[in-house]
Amino acid sequence: MQRDVFAAIADPTRREIITMLASQPLNLNTVADKFDISRPAVAKHLKLLKECGLIDIEKRGRESFCSARLDGLKEVTDWTAKMRAFWTQKLDALEVFLENDQNTKQDKSYE
């Protein structure tokens, strides 16, 4: 049972699948037809995406309908936003520091 959303979106094919399914639900073969790789390969990607909660796979008769369930991406958005905010804040603090004290040569500071 994979569950790392970061690993799930690391693969370009899986990101494409997500993009496709975000616009509309599709069955497995329809998804597979969009790629050059084999159906089992796509099925594996879909299974992984399901296991980490990014898509639903609903069986209807002999067909598997796949649909996006992208609230799991919040974890990624949150982390990246937090990192960038932290970093930007550091840069701002540095800027203020440099503006207020041009003479001090603090050689440990960066940029």
CB of 54 to DNA, least distance (A): 14
Both tokens assigned to 80:
């990246």
Question: According to CB under 7 A, which residues from 8 to 37 bind DNA?
Answer: 10-11, 13, 27-30, 32, 36-37
Among 60, 71, 77, 99, binds DNA (CB under 7 A): 60
In angstroms, give the least distance from the CB of 107 to DNA. 12
Determine if 64 is a binding residue for DNA (CB under 7 A): yes
In the complex, minimum distance from the CB of residue 40 to DNA, in angstroms, rounded to a whole number: 4
Per CB under 7 A, 67 contacts DNA: no
| Secondary structure (DSSP) of the chain | ----HHHHTTSHHHHHHHHHHHH--EEHHHHHHTSSS-HHHHHHHHHHHHHTTSEEEEEETTEEEEEE-GGGGHHHHHHHHHHHHHHHHHHHHHHHHHHH-SS---TTS--
Q: What is the spatial distance between Cα 1 and Cα 6, in angstroms, rounded to a whole number?
A: 14
Partner interacting with residue 99 (select from DNA, a second copy, none; CB below 5-8 Å by kind): none
Interface residues toward DNA, by CB under 7 A: 2, 7, 10-11, 13, 27-30, 32, 36-41, 43-45, 48, 57, 59-65
